[in-house]
Protein backbone atom coordinates (compact mmCIF):
# COMPACT_ATOMS: atom_id res chain seq x y z
CA UNK A 1 0.00 0.00 0.00
CA UNK A 2 1.19 3.50 -0.86
CA UNK A 3 1.64 5.59 2.28
CA UNK A 4 -0.28 8.82 2.81
CA UNK A 5 1.61 11.80 4.21
CA UNK A 6 -0.62 14.78 4.93
CA UNK A 7 0.80 18.25 4.28
CA UNK A 8 -0.51 20.55 7.02
CA UNK A 9 0.63 23.88 5.56
CA UNK A 10 -2.98 24.97 4.98
CA UNK A 11 -3.77 24.45 8.66
CA UNK A 12 -0.96 26.85 9.50
CA UNK A 13 -2.24 29.34 6.91
CA UNK A 14 -5.65 29.34 8.56
CA UNK A 15 -4.14 29.76 12.02
CA UNK A 16 -1.91 32.62 10.93
CA UNK A 17 -4.84 34.50 9.40
CA UNK A 18 -6.07 35.39 12.88
CA UNK A 19 -2.76 35.50 14.72
CA UNK A 20 -3.72 33.09 17.50
CA UNK A 21 -3.50 29.34 17.85
CA UNK A 22 -6.78 28.30 16.24
CA UNK A 23 -6.71 25.81 14.67
CA UNK A 24 -4.05 24.19 16.84
CA UNK A 25 -1.47 22.87 14.38
CA UNK A 26 -0.01 20.34 16.81
CA UNK A 27 -3.42 18.97 17.74
CA UNK A 28 -4.35 18.61 14.08
CA UNK A 29 -1.10 16.73 13.40
CA UNK A 30 -1.88 14.35 16.27
CA UNK A 31 -5.43 13.83 15.03
CA UNK A 32 -4.40 13.18 11.42
CA UNK A 33 -2.06 10.43 12.58
CA UNK A 34 -4.75 8.96 14.83
CA UNK A 35 -7.11 8.96 11.84
CA UNK A 36 -4.65 6.65 10.06
CA UNK A 37 -2.29 8.79 7.96
CA UNK A 38 1.21 7.35 7.85
CA UNK A 39 3.05 10.65 7.80
CA UNK A 40 3.03 14.42 8.29
CA UNK A 41 4.58 16.79 5.76
CA UNK A 42 5.44 20.45 6.20
CA UNK A 43 6.99 22.94 3.80
CA UNK A 44 8.39 25.91 5.73
CA UNK A 45 9.32 28.90 3.60
CA UNK A 46 11.68 31.76 4.52
CA UNK A 47 8.82 34.25 5.09
CA UNK A 48 7.04 31.76 7.41
CA UNK A 49 3.71 32.68 5.84
CA UNK A 50 2.25 29.33 6.86
CA UNK A 51 4.54 26.84 8.63
CA UNK A 52 6.88 28.63 11.00
CA UNK A 53 10.33 27.34 11.81
CA UNK A 54 9.23 26.91 15.42
CA UNK A 55 6.35 24.73 14.20
CA UNK A 56 8.92 22.44 12.62
CA UNK A 57 10.69 22.14 15.94
CA UNK A 58 7.49 21.62 17.94
CA UNK A 59 6.20 18.93 15.57
CA UNK A 60 9.31 16.81 16.12
CA UNK A 61 7.89 15.43 19.37
CA UNK A 62 4.36 15.14 17.95
CA UNK A 63 4.96 13.19 14.75
CA UNK A 64 5.34 9.50 15.57
CA UNK A 65 4.68 8.23 12.04
CA UNK A 66 6.95 9.70 9.33
CA UNK A 67 8.08 13.30 9.48
CA UNK A 68 8.79 14.82 6.06
CA UNK A 69 10.13 18.37 5.71
CA UNK A 70 10.11 19.97 2.26
CA UNK A 71 11.93 23.03 1.08
CA UNK A 72 14.63 24.76 -0.89
CA UNK A 73 17.98 23.91 0.72
CA UNK A 74 19.14 27.44 1.43
CA UNK A 75 21.12 27.91 4.64
CA UNK A 76 18.35 28.55 7.15
CA UNK A 77 16.39 25.55 5.85
CA UNK A 78 19.43 23.29 5.97
CA UNK A 79 20.20 24.40 9.53
CA UNK A 80 16.60 23.73 10.57
CA UNK A 81 16.52 20.24 9.07
CA UNK A 82 19.84 19.28 10.63
CA UNK A 83 18.56 20.54 13.97
CA UNK A 84 15.29 18.60 14.01
CA UNK A 85 16.41 15.56 11.97
CA UNK A 86 13.11 14.48 10.38
CA UNK A 87 12.75 11.04 8.81
CA UNK A 88 12.86 12.54 5.33
CA UNK A 89 13.81 15.81 3.69
CA UNK A 90 12.36 16.64 0.28
CA UNK A 91 14.44 19.12 -1.69
CA UNK A 92 12.29 21.51 -3.74
CA UNK A 93 13.65 24.32 -5.97
CA UNK A 94 11.24 27.00 -4.78
CA UNK A 95 11.87 30.62 -5.54
CA UNK A 96 11.62 32.79 -2.44
CA UNK A 97 8.40 34.41 -3.68
CA UNK A 98 6.78 31.23 -5.05
CA UNK A 99 3.13 30.81 -4.07
CA UNK A 100 3.57 27.05 -4.31
CA UNK A 101 6.00 24.61 -5.88
CA UNK A 102 5.89 24.88 -9.66
CA UNK A 103 8.78 22.84 -11.09
CA UNK A 104 11.14 20.03 -10.34
CA UNK A 105 14.93 20.20 -10.13
CA UNK A 106 17.15 20.08 -13.17
CA UNK A 107 19.21 17.26 -11.72
CA UNK A 108 21.85 17.61 -14.41
CA UNK A 109 22.40 21.36 -14.19
CA UNK A 110 22.38 21.35 -10.38
CA UNK A 111 24.15 18.01 -9.94
CA UNK A 112 27.09 19.24 -7.85
CA UNK A 113 24.92 21.27 -5.48
CA UNK A 114 22.43 18.45 -5.01
CA UNK A 115 25.20 15.92 -4.38
CA UNK A 116 26.53 18.19 -1.64
CA UNK A 117 23.11 18.65 -0.04
CA UNK A 118 22.16 14.98 -0.34
CA UNK A 119 25.34 13.78 1.33
CA UNK A 120 25.00 16.35 4.10
CA UNK A 121 21.53 15.15 5.05
CA UNK A 122 22.32 11.46 4.59
CA UNK A 123 25.36 11.81 6.84
CA UNK A 124 22.92 12.84 9.58
CA UNK A 125 20.68 9.84 9.03
CA UNK A 126 17.99 11.70 7.06
CA UNK A 127 16.45 10.10 3.97
CA UNK A 128 16.59 12.42 0.95
CA UNK A 129 13.96 12.85 -1.75
CA UNK A 130 14.43 15.18 -4.73
CA UNK A 131 11.43 16.88 -6.39
CA UNK A 132 11.54 16.17 -10.14
CA UNK A 133 9.40 16.48 -13.24
CA UNK A 134 8.41 13.18 -14.93
CA UNK A 135 11.36 13.22 -17.32
CA UNK A 136 13.57 10.16 -17.69
CA UNK A 137 16.80 12.17 -17.89
CA UNK A 138 15.92 13.96 -14.63
CA UNK A 139 15.37 10.59 -12.92
CA UNK A 140 18.70 9.36 -14.25
CA UNK A 141 20.28 12.56 -13.00
CA UNK A 142 18.80 11.92 -9.56
CA UNK A 143 20.41 8.48 -9.52
CA UNK A 144 23.79 10.06 -10.26
CA UNK A 145 23.28 12.42 -7.33
CA UNK A 146 22.74 9.53 -4.92
CA UNK A 147 19.33 10.47 -3.57
CA UNK A 148 17.25 7.85 -1.80
CA UNK A 149 14.00 8.84 -3.49
CA UNK A 150 12.46 11.17 -6.01
CA UNK A 151 9.14 12.96 -5.65
CA UNK A 152 7.29 13.19 -8.93
CA UNK A 153 5.75 16.63 -9.45
CA UNK A 154 2.16 15.79 -10.38
CA UNK A 155 0.58 19.15 -11.23
CA UNK A 156 0.59 18.46 -14.97
CA UNK A 157 -1.04 15.06 -14.52
CA UNK A 158 -3.71 16.46 -12.21
CA UNK A 159 -4.57 19.28 -14.61
CA UNK A 160 -4.79 17.06 -17.67
CA UNK A 161 -6.68 14.32 -15.84
CA UNK A 162 -9.25 16.90 -14.80
CA UNK A 163 -9.75 17.68 -18.49
CA UNK A 164 -10.35 14.00 -19.22
CA UNK A 165 -6.89 13.24 -20.62
CA UNK A 166 -5.87 9.99 -18.97
CA UNK A 167 -2.86 9.71 -21.28
CA UNK A 168 -1.23 12.34 -19.07
CA UNK A 169 -0.15 9.47 -16.83
CA UNK A 170 2.27 8.11 -19.45
CA UNK A 171 5.39 10.21 -18.67
CA UNK A 172 4.91 9.44 -14.97
CA UNK A 173 4.66 5.73 -15.70
CA UNK A 174 7.82 5.85 -17.81
CA UNK A 175 9.69 7.83 -15.16
CA UNK A 176 8.57 5.33 -12.51
CA UNK A 177 9.83 2.39 -14.57
CA UNK A 178 13.26 4.00 -14.83
CA UNK A 179 13.32 4.81 -11.11
CA UNK A 180 12.46 1.21 -10.30
CA UNK A 181 15.22 -0.05 -12.60
CA UNK A 182 17.72 2.30 -10.95
CA UNK A 183 16.66 1.39 -7.42
CA UNK A 184 15.31 4.82 -6.47
CA UNK A 185 12.22 5.06 -4.26
CA UNK A 186 9.22 6.95 -5.65
CA UNK A 187 7.10 9.57 -3.89
CA UNK A 188 4.61 11.90 -5.56
CA UNK A 189 2.74 15.07 -4.82
CA UNK A 190 1.06 18.30 -5.94
CA UNK A 191 -2.61 18.65 -6.85
CA UNK A 192 -3.39 15.01 -6.17
CA UNK A 193 -6.96 14.69 -4.88
CA UNK A 194 -9.74 12.21 -4.18
CA UNK A 195 -10.71 12.53 -7.84
CA UNK A 196 -7.39 11.42 -9.30
CA UNK A 197 -5.39 9.66 -6.58
CA UNK A 198 -6.61 6.12 -7.23
CA UNK A 199 -5.97 6.28 -10.97
CA UNK A 200 -2.51 7.72 -10.38
CA UNK A 201 -1.55 5.15 -7.77
CA UNK A 202 -2.76 2.24 -9.88
CA UNK A 203 -0.60 3.31 -12.82
CA UNK A 204 2.66 4.11 -11.02
CA UNK A 205 4.60 0.93 -10.18
CA UNK A 206 6.49 1.10 -6.92
CA UNK A 207 4.81 4.25 -5.60
CA UNK A 208 5.88 4.42 -1.95
CA UNK A 209 4.31 7.62 -0.70
CA UNK A 210 2.06 10.50 -1.69
CA UNK A 211 2.11 13.90 0.01
CA UNK A 212 -1.26 15.66 -0.13
CA UNK A 213 -2.25 18.92 1.49
CA UNK A 214 -4.29 21.55 -0.33
CA UNK A 215 -6.87 19.19 -1.84
CA UNK A 216 -7.18 17.06 1.27
CA UNK A 217 -7.77 19.99 3.61
CA UNK A 218 -10.19 21.58 1.14
CA UNK A 219 -12.14 18.33 0.80
CA UNK A 220 -12.21 18.00 4.58
CA UNK A 221 -14.14 21.29 4.85
CA UNK A 222 -17.09 19.47 3.30
CA UNK A 223 -16.53 15.86 4.29
CA UNK A 224 -14.65 15.98 7.61
CA UNK A 225 -10.96 15.41 8.27
CA UNK A 226 -11.23 11.91 9.74
CA UNK A 227 -13.48 10.82 6.88
CA UNK A 228 -11.26 12.30 4.15
CA UNK A 229 -8.04 10.78 5.53
CA UNK A 230 -9.68 7.37 5.50
CA UNK A 231 -11.13 7.90 2.02
CA UNK A 232 -7.57 8.45 0.76
CA UNK A 233 -6.34 5.37 2.60
CA UNK A 234 -9.05 3.26 0.98
CA UNK A 235 -8.14 4.52 -2.50
CA UNK A 236 -4.44 3.83 -1.88
CA UNK A 237 -4.97 0.19 -0.90
Global confidence as pTM: 0.95
Q: Residue 94 has what pLDDT?
A: 77
Task: Identify the segments of the chain with pLDDT beneath 70.
Answer: 95-102
Q: What is the DSSP string of 93-152?
A: ---TT-SS------TTTTHHHHHHHHHHHHTTT-EEEEEE-S-HHHHHHHHHHT-SEEEE
3-7/39-42 β-pairing:
parallel
What spatial distance separates the first Cα and last Cα of the chain, rounded to whole Å? Answer: 5
pLDDT per residue as tens digits for the range 168-215: 999 999 999 999 999 999 999 999 999 999 999 999 999 999 999 999
Where in the sequence numbering do the catalytic residues fall? Answer: 43, 70, 190
Q: Residue 99 has what pLDDT?
A: 47
Task: Please name the fold of domain 3-236.
Answer: TIM Barrel (3.20.20)
The rounded distance, in Å, linking the Cα atoms of 19 and 84 is 25
Amino acid sequence: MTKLSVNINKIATLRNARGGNVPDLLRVAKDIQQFGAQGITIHPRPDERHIRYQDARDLKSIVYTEYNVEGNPEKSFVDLVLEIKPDQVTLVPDAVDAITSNAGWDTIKHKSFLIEMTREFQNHGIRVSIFVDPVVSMVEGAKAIGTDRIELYTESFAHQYGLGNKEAIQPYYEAALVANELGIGINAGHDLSLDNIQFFQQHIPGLLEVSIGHALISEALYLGLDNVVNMYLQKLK
